[in-house]
Amino acid sequence: MPETDLHDLSDDPDYTVLQRQESTSNLSVDSARTSDPSESEIVYSKENVAVHPSQYASERISGRLRIAKQGSLFLLTWTPYKAASSLSDSVVRNLNSSVSEKDRNLYTIKPVSLSDIHSIRRHIPALGWQYIIIVLSSGIAFPPLYFYNGGVRGFFATLKQHVFIVRSANDSNVFMLNDFEGPLQRSLSSLELPRVFSVANGTPVHDSPSEVSAIDDSVSVNRITSSGTFSASEYGGSLKNKANDPTHDISIQVLEKFSLVTKFAREATSQIFREFQDNHEKNDKNRKICSSWDVTEVNQPNEGGNDTQSKADDIVETSDAPKFDELSLVWGKQRQPPLTQEEWENFLDSEGRVTDSMAFRKRVFYGGVEQKLRKKVWKFLLGYYEFDSTYAERDYLESVRKTDYETVKSQWKNISEAQAKRFTKFRERRGLIDKDVVRTDRSVSYFEGDDNPNVAVLRDILLTYSFYNFDLGYCQGMSDLLSPILFVMRDESEAFWTFVALMERLGPNFNRDQSGMHSQLFALSKLVELLDHPLHNFLKQADCLNYFFCFRWILILFKREFEYEKIMHLWEVLWTHYPSEHLQLYICVAILRSHRKKIMGENMDFDTLLKFINGLSYQIDLDAIIRDAEALCVCAGENGAACIPPGTPPSLPVDSDTGLYSHQDDEIL
């Protein structure tokens, strides 16, 4: 398929309407007078800019980003689309259908003067959507704004015309606005002292009334201010109350805060994401979640107190910005016995509907499923069955899908050898499948032995899938994913459709451009940076930040790292999407953290690390790693979710107005 066709959405009516609307109020700098009585002049307008309250793409809130000139002021706003709008009701329902009026008001960015913006962090990944994070002079940070149609370049181009903007000397992706101060004064300002004396002119610099009111008057809701902004401490920042404290000598404050100068030199969002909540904030949302768990104090020793460690941990930390290693972590609950037949029946009503899908998924997460129940339960976990389907509906679905399967299978079964000679793609895929199936799990009794009919069924399902999803076809690794499914289902048609459901989530792992893999490895890098910064720094110095040594783990969901029974248990845990649909990434972090002392102590390079990681097969304590991964996920909270681009596998396909990974070249300045 030509590259230009990969993200062709010309046949998407919602996208077409949005594009048509955008063309009428484009991000053109040509001023368009509005009917506003104050005679505001719109100098920038961008549609379909979204906020993501969670890691689930379906929960995004889409809206309009604008910059307007009002007198001598330039005001920035972001307004979410309403449920009913003259734009297009169908489009609005599709974008913000599940968003309440309260949430729309919560995230709305009311007019903010550009003179009150301290910096803007832009992120333009090779894969995923572009976004920016706006940080005000008061220290308040707005949630990331995602540009679904690209356009970050145009946004910054407009800013440059109206405010003084300069790239940070310490981070090329951070842009400082109205940065007229000298370097020394900027360093002192970064200490966030209540009142700092300007070294340049000897005059005191007071907080503006607007900044004071922005802090004192805003009411926090789950650590989100009533104006829709996130406080810096929501991302683990060190925003302090700026009320004047005459009893606290300024020199003492300088000494207490001086180490923050080093932190300030780093990228704005890294500071936001990396630090954790202050221990005294008892009402924090994550702390509420953690309060119901068994808490264990984790005192990490200074592992490998050698040059390697000192090089890796080159950041000055303060007592009020502790590392994750030094926090009281919430360890996952004890594992439970597998779900039994009796428990399963208690989750169903008289017609076969699952009455409480969340409780059901949590039960499977903590205990897994008995082998005899897996055939039923896996279909629900993978979306083969809907949770609210009845016995009768499922029986009918099975009969229809058996017929559909035979129809798809006949497409390749009826290809004669003469036709196959002129069908290169079919021959190539058939040859690759034939080679793979004979070496897939042959040590498992279900597949062992010569002329095993189950191996032939495995082959037939993979060939059928290559015709069902002809664009994706077959790639090495798919047989590893199908094998346990066929082992559990023991039926060709049911195994096929269950495999189809799994590939709806994991299909991007096998894309020719490896987009799904790259997005997960990128997210893994950010999670390690958040949860184990010394290890992240070590891997950075070892030139291992591509995390390709974890490639096999993610591609086939740890299939070759655990015994057959354990991998089935792990998969059903992951498929619950509890406590995160990306738990596989936290499992990667947990495994790396459990071996960090050896990795860093032996100063492993990439080749050594790859060999070491591959050598961990069948040596990992699965229950312990699941508990650690759960703990890391809970403690990371929204900070961890923000590290994962929306649509990252194994998310279900995203119903977006542009392609999943559409982006533009927005290199600026």
HEC letters along 92-127: HHHHHCCCCHHHHHHHCEEEEEHHHEEEEEEECCCC
Q: Residue 623, Cα to own-chain centre: how many angstroms?
A: 24
Q: CA 40: distance to chain centroid?
A: 38
Could you tell me what percent of the chain has a pLDDT over 90? 48
**229 band by pLDDT with thresholds 50, 70 and 90:** very low
Look at residue 289 and tell me whether its pLDDT is greater than 80: no
- Who wins on pLDDT, 315 or 144? 144
Taking the C-alpha atoms of residue 577 and residue 360, their distance in angstroms, rounded to an integer, is 12
**Helix runs in 507-621, H state only:** 515-531, 533-541, 551-555, 564-575, 583-594, 596-601, 606-614
User: 102-112 burial, b if ≥16 CB within 10 A, otherwise e?
Assistant: ebbebbbbeeb
What secondary structure does DSSP assign to 556-576, as a single string?
TTTTTTS-HHHHHHHHHHHHT
- Residue listed under structure tokens 């959405």: 9
Q: What secondary structure letter does DSSP report for 17?
A: H
Segment holding 77, helix H or strand E: strand 73-80
Amino acid 359 reads: A
pLDDT, average across residues 163-192: 64
Strands 328-330 and 109-113: unpaired
DSSP 422-468: T-HHHHHHHHHHHHHHTTSSTTSTTT-STT-HHHHHHHHHHHHHHHH
190-227 in b/e form (b: 16+ CB < 10 A) is: bbbbbebeeeeeeeebebeeebeebbeebeeeebbbeb
| 3-state SS string for 385-407 | CCCCCCHHHHHHHHHHHHHHHHH
For residue 332, name the pLDDT band (cuts at 50, 70, 90): low
Distance (Å) of CA 114 to CA 160, 179, 239: 11, 12, 21
The sign of the dihedral angle between the CA atoms of 430, 431, 434, 437 is: negative
Q: Report whether pLDDT(357) > 80.
A: yes
Provide the percentage of residues in the chain whose pLDDT is more than 70.
Answer: 65
Non-local (6+) Cβ contacts of 55 within 8 A are 580, 581, 582, 641, 642, 644, 646
Q: What residues are paired with 197 via a beta bridge?
A: 204
Which residue matches tokens 């740890």? Answer: 558
What local confidence, expressed as pLDDT, does residue 220 receive?
A: 34
Bridge partners, residue 51, by sequence? 61
Helix (H) or strand (E) holding 293: none
Cα–Cα–Cα angle for 30, 35, 41, rounded to 5 degrees: 35
pLDDT greater at residue 115 or residue 311: 115
Rounded to the nearest 10°, the torsion over CA 301, 307, 312, 317 is: 60
Mean pLDDT of all residues in 260-272: 37
Alpha carbon distance 274, 533 (integer Å): 8
User: Shortest CA distance to 14 belongs to which of 97, 82, 88?
Assistant: 88
- Band (pLDDT 50/70/90 cuts) for residue 57 is low
Average pLDDT over residues 11-30: 40
Pick from 70-84, 153-167, 242-256, 456-470 the range whose average pLDDT is largest. Answer: 456-470
Angle at 483 between CA 623 and CA 499, to 5 degrees: 95
pLDDT at 652: 56
SS3 79: strand
